[in-house]
Amino acid sequence: MFYRHHPMIASAVRKGAYVSSFALLTLALSSFASASSDTSKPEKAAAGRAAMTTAPMKANGSGVVVQFRVDGTPQVGAATSVVLTLGGVTDPAGASLRLQTEGGLTLGAAASTVTLPAGSPTTLTIAVTPTADGIGYVHVFTTQYGATSATSIPIQVGKTSPAQSSGNELKQSPSGEKIRSMQVK
């Protein structure tokens, strides 16, 4: 009888272990090599542009993933492009998008309400024109399955105001209390 510790059986088991290890290593390296050599054209085209920022999502929100990028440096009176990519639409009826501006921004010719199709991401480029220095916001409201989410995209025009940069300074009252002054809008 041959037992598992018999030299003839042990050599066959060792050979099998080497062969299976080699096959596993070859498979792992080939998939790694093909993944690293596959660079598509959109990735190369996007390499020269700024990266998209993904907006945070709440668990009870609409579920639409909002990514955005502000192209260029916003200047008063000049249109600035904001690129939006909206994905994660799973409702067969689609989702809706509503845009609104605040803080001295005007929305360009783009429609303020858009229907988003299910299954594929939608990319929109909107033009906003700042009317004054400071910070303005493009509010993006997405609705899907009856739930609505809001994302605010900040558009900074000019330098930050002194009130924003010195927000960490504490002043002391005559009675010795620490006071932090904040600008009211």
Residue 130, amino acid: P
Contact 128, 79 (CB under 8 A): yes
Calculate the CA 58 to chain-centre distance. Answer: 14
Q: Taking the model in full, what pTM does it have?
A: 0.61
Rounded distance, CA 176 to CA 143, Å?
50
How large is the greatest C-alpha to C-alpha distance in the chain, in angstroms? 99
For the chain, 185 residues long, give each residue's pLDDT as a single digit of tens: 556 666 665 555 555 556 566 655 565 565 544 444 444 444 444 445 679 999 999 899 999 999 999 999 999 999 999 999 999 999 999 999 999 999 889 998 877 899 999 999 999 999 999 999 999 999 999 999 999 999 999 999 988 655 555 556 778 888 888 887 777 76
Rounded distance, CA 137 to CA 145, Å?
26
Contact 126, 151 (CB under 8 A): no
